[in-house]
């Protein structure tokens, strides 16, 4: 059995902040896990370094489920993004180790491939409808079969999903939270026009997605769903904040637009009622924030009973380690729906060499043993952590709103 003898935490900033755990075994085998929680990176690094790593030393790295239960139940304080991200990092690293010892890619340990690759969606955005359509056409030309559309809202200086850089979207860009402004009325007018223009330009053989980013009330979300229905959206994401899950009942009463939710969920308990009541179509919980491969498989198994499919979060704040783990999971899970894919910068890719790749609108984790991803710790050491926060959002009268 590979015995855990050490675990190192690296906080690095190759373009943006990432926290990575590397677990080291007595036979020299190592495994990596992503521990990045955007804007709260050091909290997870401390949780791991101060409270988790000491409990790992001497344990059998093959006992993935037991270690998961030990960290979850043993903390007494269950759930929450910091705890679940830390557990996820350990879990990913242990699957990586098991794969390396077995000489197999992790997806083979999860039951093997049930599809040829994971269909991914890219992010087309622009300050105007025309800019967004131009970006979407580029994605289509690159082979993407699914594209998320976000555009600027006339009269608003900036909004969620609209990139400052042409190729790389990075909202966590300020040492203290920057302030965006929001108008639901203006927003609800522009999105149907965006989808209409997209269908005219891109045709019907491409899936179109949209992220509301928790900004509407349930009845407003119902309105948006209705307005987008003629353009057959693949999904409407985070239509309303999900703390009150009954809200989704109201949305469902008004639209057949498929609903996706869950990128900020961290436990099966956040997903349970929405899934069991069939209030959503896609669950977006992801490997790094929802307890790792071990816990995400449990969520997916529950969702499968209700024909809810996966649509895992995959923004740039999920490191290539999480991306690799998501692809092993996605390739092997029966009820996979789609995987989000935002390209990392070349700096990030260099710090995290990886076996996964993109072709014809799909991604594949590759056939390297384990997760097929590593961290170059020497290179990582050249990039120093700098605090970077996500923005906040205010209504035009100054009321703080959901970002
Ligand atoms: O850290 C927050 C981002 O990952 C999030 O704002 C991106 O909503 C997002 C998405 O769908 O990728
Ligand atoms: Mg989102």
| Pocket flag, ligand 1, residue 220 (CB < 6 Å) | no
Q: pLDDT tens, 96-144?
A: 999 999 999 999 999 999 999 999 999 999 999 999 999 999 999 999 9
Residue 114 and residue 88: Cα distance in Å, rounded? 24
CA dihedral sign of residues 141, 144, 149, 151: negative
Residue 163: pLDDT over 90: no
Confidence bin at 169 (pLDDT 50/70/90): confident
Q: Which residue is closest in CA terms to ligand 1's atom 8? A: 213
pLDDT at position 166 is 67
**Distance from the alpha carbon of residue 361 to the mean position of ligand 1, in angstroms:** 21
**Distance from the alpha carbon of residue 313 to the mean position of ligand 2, in angstroms:** 7
| Pocket flag, ligand 1, residue 263 (CB < 6 Å) | yes
CB 117 within 8 A of CB 363: yes
Q: pLDDT tens, 252-284?
A: 999 999 999 999 999 999 999 999 999 999 999
Atom number, ligand 1, closest to the C-alpha of residue 340? 12
**Distance from the alpha carbon of residue 270 to the mean position of ligand 2, in angstroms:** 16
**Distance from the alpha carbon of residue 24 to the mean position of ligand 2, in angstroms:** 34
Residue 71: pLDDT over 80: yes
pLDDT at position 210 is 98
The first and second tokens of residue 289, run together, are 């924030």
Q: Which ligand is nearest to the CA of 261?
A: 2
The mean pLDDT of 329-333, rounded to a whole number, is 98
pLDDT at position 42 is 98
Q: Which CATH class is domain 109-367?
A: alpha beta
Token pair 């903390």: residue: 75
Q: pLDDT tens, 181-204?
A: 999 999 999 999 999 999 999 999
**Distance from the alpha carbon of residue 123 to the mean position of ligand 2, in angstroms:** 11
Fold exhibited by the domain 4-105: Enolase-like; domain 1 (3.30.390)
| Pocket flag, ligand 1, residue 125 (CB < 6 Å) | no
The mean pLDDT of 234-244, rounded to a whole number, is 97
The first and second tokens of residue 19, run together, are 């926290």
Q: Which residue is closest in CA terms to ligand 1's atom 9? A: 315
Residue 146 and residue 326: Cα distance in Å, rounded? 18
C-alpha radius of gyration, the chain, whole number: 20
Atom number, ligand 1, closest to the C-alpha of residue 172? 1
| Pocket flag, ligand 1, residue 213 (CB < 6 Å) | yes
Q: How far is CA 63 from CA 28, 58, 204, in A?
A: 17, 12, 47
| Pocket flag, ligand 1, residue 316 (CB < 6 Å) | no
pLDDT at position 159 is 86
Mean pLDDT of the chain: 97
Residue 218: pLDDT over 70: yes
pTM to 2 decimals?
0.97
Burial pattern 101-130, b for ≥16 Cβ within 10 A else e, equals beebbbbbbbeebeeebbbbbbbbbbbebe
Atom number, ligand 1, closest to the C-alpha of residue 123? 12
Residue 132 and residue 154: Cα distance in Å, rounded? 14
- Delimit the domains of the chain by residue range: 4-105, 109-367
Residues of the chain above pLDDT 90, percent: 95
Q: Which ligand is nearest to the CA of 170?
A: 1
**Distance from the alpha carbon of residue 190 to the mean position of ligand 1, in angstroms:** 21
Confidence bin at 173 (pLDDT 50/70/90): confident
pLDDT at position 304 is 98
Residue 160 and residue 182: Cα distance in Å, rounded? 10
pLDDT at position 157 is 85
Half-sphere exposure of 279 (CA within 13 A, CB side): 24
Residue 165: pLDDT over 80: no
**Residues contacting residue 68 through CB under 8 Å, at least 6 positions apart:** 87, 90, 91, 291, 292, 294, 295
Q: Which residues carry out catalysis?
A: 160, 213
| Pocket flag, ligand 1, residue 317 (CB < 6 Å) | yes
| Pocket flag, ligand 1, residue 38 (CB < 6 Å) | yes
Half-sphere exposure of 323 (CA within 13 A, CB side): 28
At 19, give phi and psi (nearest 5°).
-115, 130
CB 49 within 8 A of CB 20: no
The mean pLDDT of 313-342, rounded to a whole number, is 98
Q: pLDDT tens, 76-92?
A: 999 999 999 999 999 99
Q: Which ligand is nearest to the CA of 314?
A: 1
pLDDT at position 284 is 98
At 48, give phi and psi (nearest 5°).
-70, -55
The mean pLDDT of 363-385, rounded to a whole number, is 98
Q: Which ligand is nearest to the CA of 242?
A: 2
The first and second tokens of residue 353, run together, are 């060499």
């Amino acid at each position: 059995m590979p015995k855990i003898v050490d675990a190192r935490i690296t906080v690095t900033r190759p373009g943006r902040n990432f926290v990575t755990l590397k677990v080291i075994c007595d036979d020299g085998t190592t495994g990596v896990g992503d521990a990045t929680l955007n804007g709260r990176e050091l909290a997870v690094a401390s949780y791991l370094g101060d409270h988790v790593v000491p409990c790992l030393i001497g344990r059998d790295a093959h006992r993935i489920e037991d270690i998961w239960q030990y960290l979850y139940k043993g903390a007494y304080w269950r759930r929450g993004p910091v705890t679940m991200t830390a557990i996820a990092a350990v879990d990913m690293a242990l699957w990586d180790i098991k794969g390396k010892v077995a000489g197999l890619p992790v997806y083979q340990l999860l039951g093997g491939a049930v599809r040829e690759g994971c269909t991914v969606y890219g992010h087309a955005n622009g300050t105007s409808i025309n800019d967004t359509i131009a970006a979407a056409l580029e994605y289509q030309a690159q082979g993407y079969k699914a594209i998320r559309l976000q555009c600027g809202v006339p009269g608003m200086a900036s909004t969620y999903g609209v990139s400052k850089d042409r190729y790389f979207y990075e909202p966590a860009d300020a040492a203290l939270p920057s302030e965006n402004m929001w108008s639901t009325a203006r927003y609800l007018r522009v999105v149907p026009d965006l989808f209409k223009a997209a269908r005219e330009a891109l045709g019907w053989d491409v899936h179109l997605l949209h992220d509301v980013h928790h900004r509407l009330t349930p009845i407003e979300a119902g309105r948006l769903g209705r307005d987008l229905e003629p353009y057959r959206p693949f999904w409407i994401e985070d239509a309303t904040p999900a703390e009150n899950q009954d809200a989704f009942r109201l949305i469902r009463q008004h639209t057949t637009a498929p609903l996706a939710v869950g990128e900020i969920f961290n436990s099966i308990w956040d997903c349970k009622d929405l899934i069991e009541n069939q209030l959503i179509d896609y669950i977006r919980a992801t490997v790094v924030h929802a307890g790792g491969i071990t816990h995400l498989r449990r969520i997916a198994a529950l969702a499968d009973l209700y024909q809810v499919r996966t649509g895992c979060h995959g923004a740039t704040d999920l490191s290539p380690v999480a991306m690799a783990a998501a692809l092993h999971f996605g390739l092997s899970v029966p009820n996979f729906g789609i995987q989000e894919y935002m390209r990392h910068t070349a700096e990030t890719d260099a710090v995290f060499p990886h076996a996964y790749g993109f072709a014809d609108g799909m991604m594949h984790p590759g056939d390297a043993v384990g997760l097929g991803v590593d961290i170059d710790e020497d290179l990582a050491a050249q990039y120093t952590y700098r605090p970077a926060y996500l923005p906040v959002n205010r209504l035009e009268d100054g009321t703080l709103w959901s970002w």
